[in-house]
Structure 1
Amino acid sequence: MTFSYWMLIVTLAVAAFSVRVLGLFAGDAIKSSRVSWMLDDLPGLIVVSLVASSLAGQPIGTWIAAAVALAVAYCTNHVILTMCIGVTVYGVLIWSGV
């Protein structure tokens, strides 16, 4: 390997390490700030936004299965059961032609 390849590897390694270290410092600064309470709901908001964007433009069967999965999640608070029932409802709806 030539010198330019080694320099590229070293540069990328330093950049990757720097991003991680800066993320640690930024995370500590955000956790100790006065707006840190907003981060408590961030994981749930990310999941909701991913689900909402994936449902856009889907047929009605997908929306019904998502609504059933939401109801199961709300009632049971059990992730595996929610996934199993949601997939089963989706499969039944697709199989029945909805």
Structure 2
Amino acid sequence: MTISYWLLILVLAIAAFTIRVLGLFAGDAIKSSRFNWVLDELPGLIVVSLVASSLAGQPLGTWVAAGVALAVAYFTNHVILTMFVGVAAFGLLLWLGV
């Protein structure tokens, strides 16, 4: 490998390390501010954003199955049951041609 590859690896390693250190400082600053509630809600917000971006552009059957899974999650608060019912609803809707 040439020196340019090694320099690129070094720059990317420094950038990755810097991002992590800045994240630690930002997290500490948020913990001591009036916005510390954001850190408590962050895991749920990340999951919602991942699900929403996954549903974008999907057919109606996928949205209905996601709605069924959301209803099961809301009423039961049981992760395994939610996954099972959501997959079953998706499979049934796919089988029905929706």
Give me the TM-score of the superposition, normalised by structure 2: 0.79
Structure 2 CA distance for partners of 1:69 and 1:31, relative to 1, 3 Å: same
| Structural mapping, 1:18-57, within 5 Å | 18-57=18-57
RMSD between aligned residues:
2.0
Whichever residue aligns with residue 92 of structure 1, its letter is: L
Alignment-derived partner of residue 89 in structure 2: 89
Q: In structure 2, what is the Cα distance between the partners aligned to 1:45 and 1:57? A: 20
Q: In structure 1, what is the Cα distance between the partners aligned to 2:97 and 2:4? A: 59
Give me the TM-score of the superposition, normalised by structure 1: 0.79
Alignment-derived partner of residue 5 in structure 2: 5
Alignment-derived partner of residue 75 in structure 2: 75
| Structure 1 residues not aligned, in runs of 5+ | none
Structure 2 CA distance for partners of 1:67 and 1:26, relative to 1, 3 Å: same
Query: Which moves more between the two structures, 45-54 or 25-34?
Result: 45-54
Q: CA deviation at 1:45?
A: 2.3
| Structure 2 residues not aligned, in runs of 5+ | none
Q: CA deviation at 1:6?
A: 3.2
Q: In structure 1, what is the Cα distance between the partners aligned to 2:30 and 2:39? A: 9
